[in-house]
Amino acid sequence: MTESHEQRTPVALTGLREDDPRLQPAARHPETVERVIAISFVLGLVLFALFGYFFIVNAPAWTLGATLGGGMSLLGFGLVAWGKYLMPRGPFVEERHTLANSKADRDAFAAAIVERGGGVIKRRKMLGGLLGGGLGVFSVVALFPLLRSLGPMPKGTLFHTDWRKGSYAVDQTGRRIHQDDLTIGSLVTIFPEGTQDTDRGQAVDQTVLIRLSNADFVTQKGRENWAPMGYVAYSKLCTHLGCPVGLYEQQLELLVCPCHQSMFDVTNGAIPNFGPAPRPLPQLPLYIDASGYIRAQRDYDQPVGPGFWERS
Amino acid sequence: MSNLATTRREKKANQGPYGKLGQALGELDDRLGVAKGGRTFLDKIFPDHWSFMLGEIALYSFVILLATGVFLTLYYVPSQALVTYHGSYLPLVGQKVTQAFASTVDLSFKVRTGLLMRQMHHWACDIFVGAIVVHMARVFFTGAFRKPRELNWTIGTTLLILAIVNGFLGYSLPDDLVSGTGIRIAYSIILSVPVVGSYLGFWVFGGNFPGAAIIPRFFILHVLIVPAIIVTLVTVHMVLLVRQKHTQFPGEGRTEKNVVGAPMFPVFMAKTTGFLFIVSGFTALLGAFAQINPIWQFGPYDAARISYAVQPDWYMGFLDGALRIFPAWSFMGFGHTIPLEVTIPAVILPGLIFNLVFAWPALERKFTGDHEMHNLLDRPINRPKRTAAGAAIFALLAILFIASSTDVIANFFHLSLNTVLWAMRFLTFIVPIVTYPVTYKICKELQGVANAGKRKTANVVTRTSDGEYQATPSPAYVDDVAHELEPTPVPAFITPGETESNERGVRTVDR
């Protein structure tokens, strides 16, 4: 074919004549390329110096990033151009050697394992078995400190919250909630008194208190006295993945989980009517004491939050 | 001692033709015997193709992650102890925050270049995982995973999983409102595993959520254990690559038994070092101009608070999307609960996808009966079934990724959330099922197109002395000569009975 085609035939790297076209730079005008590379190196250097200056005068973060990033990009651009246009253009070829060894080598390798090793074990089967048993027990026992020390057993902790008979409902600042505190349609996040500052209180006991009306409210059959004066309380942990159900759509009376958009109907036992949550939010039975404070009748009647194996 | 050199000239003569450096290399070779292997390494040939650069992006973004990450550990405090914030970000002053959160805000605002390093670290992580995925796509669609490189495919897939896990761990460390919610979800996902879920959850977190140990534990996993495994596997990945040599596309002078390209030294070294600088520079520019994860705006984590319309980092999107659109199917019975609405999308689905990826080389060997060594790459169009299967998997992941924004889509396009949800549920099945045959068909059609993917050449029109015009096609570009990129013949076992025409541009594909 053409001359240029012959020049493109790959050859081995060694033993080339010095004037071989493959050792020439790929650029048609090497001087121009060299100039461009030189300019980018100089500009990169200037930007690095500017970075130093900006660092010393404690300039805004973006100036540091701009000069550092610009400098590195220019340096990189120049270096790539140098390699691509000013270095031997090739192409060169390298032979692959078969990775596999000869049949004899393979057989010798296998024989060493099977005959030498296997022979030894076959003759001492009992010892081999005992060693295997010992290693087996060791590997099980070795898991104990690795796994068991990591944390406590779950036991009953997933089944209960800190709500007790007579727990005062307090807000995040620890203030007790009074029956006159909420107007109809408003809500507050409550905790059993004393837990509002604890990790467990915030993660497990968090409950939404919504005032739906002025009269006692029945969200479901069998929960006749759970919501005095329209105060209903549900666990704030979404039954899907445990995000706080933090959005309240007041007109539709829906609690919405912002993570995966489960929606719970607060007038009807917080039954989910949209999204991936499989169960209603557990409802906390409330009463109002003689001084008008809102308190819990008892703990939730079921585990709060997402599902797990032991939950029935 | 008689030939002790005294004059400069004698010293020079003793050094041999390569001067001081040559002498030093000689001394090194005396002790380590590196001359022969070193020469072979410098002569190592790297094939030139832009797609081989994708793995380099992954490698270099990992280098950036290590460099910026070391910087961050100098200032970050992995503690959940509560402190009152007294830093330079006024809206937070006086708030009770964890030391992890306070130190992250402080290293962003008080430490010079701290914000830049933090943003570069986060961006480099997003680029790292992205580059791994794109690199894997290249390896997959060109068949580079075939024998003898199955082990490196397995290592690469493991690296992707580790990169995603470590990305999530690092994302959780600032202990801000958004990442804390992410940890909460991760805990619930662990809890959803049948039989052992609650034990796993308690042991990983050191108790019921939030536990007291999670930030220190995530920290040591994020900065030591997982990176150590990644560094080891990356090293093995590269050693195997050198040992087995690169794959290459078919072309002029290229065979199964050779490698054609540029030598390691100096050509490839210059290009790849330059590329390291370009990747770093690009990341620094992103860190300078594109804000990422402004945790001071989210505020510290509080289990009872939540933010609206937040998405996880992109590589977690497909999981979040799957969780959103999966129906509320919880199994309850026999005194137990299996939260299928969590277990299936967040445990079983990723398990299936990654196991399929791990098993693909073996599956393909089994179904095609191809046990040959392959060093020449496939063009994707010449392996339509593989290409279609890969496209279908990517389509599924893309839909799940989009599904992680159902609420944002509904708001933006003024659609009902219900419409978006059900559209996503249907699309999850429809799009991959449609993608497969469409991709297959496109591949088949392209096989019949002459010079597909090659540059057009000019027709040279000449006028004879009689005034007659003749058009002769000019020769093809050197890079595009006839057998450049010519596929290796499709083996009969892939689609039995199908023959490829020898004549260019003539198709014998059955319709």
Domain ranges in chain A? 3-86, 106-150, 162-296
Chain B hits for A68, CB-CB cut-off 8 Å, are 116, 281, 284, 288
Which of B179, B410, B470 lies closest to B297, judged by CA? B179
Cβ of residue A156 closer than 8 Å to a chain B Cβ: no
Q: Is the peptide bond before B148 cis (omega within 30 degrees of 0)?
A: yes
Task: State the span(s) of chain B assigned CATH 1.20.810.10.
Answer: 46-249+274-322
DSSP letter at A229?
G
Q: Which CATH number fits domain A162-296: 3.40.50.300, 2.102.10.10, 2.80.10.50, 1.10.3720.10?
A: 2.102.10.10
Tell me, yes or no, if A252 comes closer than 8 A to chain B by beta carbon: no
Suggest the residue from B244, B306, B415, B480 to mutate for an interface test with chain A (most A CBs closer than 10 A).
Answer: B306
Tally of CB atoms within 10 A around B505: 10
Q: Do B184 and A243 touch (CB under 8 A)?
A: yes
**A310 with B198: Cβ contact below 8 A:** yes
Interface test with B, best of A4, A24, A241 (most B CBs within 10 A): A241
- Per-residue pLDDT 10s for chain B (511 aa) are 445 656 777 777 777 788 889 889 999 999 999 999 999 999 999 998 899 999 999 999 999 999 999 999 999 999 988 899 998 899 999 888 999 999 999 999 999 999 999 999 999 999 999 999 999 999 999 999 999 999 999 999 999 999 999 999 999 999 999 888 889 999 999 999 998 889 889 888 888 888 778 999 999 999 999 999 999 999 999 999 999 999 998 877 888 888 999 999 889 999 999 999 999 999 999 999 999 989 998 888 888 888 776 778 899 999 999 999 999 888 888 888 889 899 999 999 999 999 999 999 999 999 888 888 899 998 888 889 999 999 999 999 999 999 998 888 888 999 988 899 999 999 999 999 999 999 999 988 888 776 666 667 788 888 988 888 888 887 766 555 545 445 555 554 455 444 444 445 444 444 4
Q: What is the ipTM of this complex?
A: 0.90
Q: How many CA atoms lie within 13 A of A240 on its CB side?
A: 33
Domain spanning B46-249+274-322, CATH class: mainly alpha
Give the B window 193-232 contacts with A, CB below 8 Å.
193-199, 201-213
Residues ≥6 apart with Cβ < 8 Å to B167? B125, B126, B128, B129, B313, B315, B316
Residue of B396, B419, B418, B392 lying closest to B345 (CA atoms): B396
Which residues 294-313 of B have a C-beta within 8 angstroms of A?
302-310
Distance CA B431, CA B391 (A): 10
A72/B327 touch (CB, cutoff 8 Å), yes or no: no
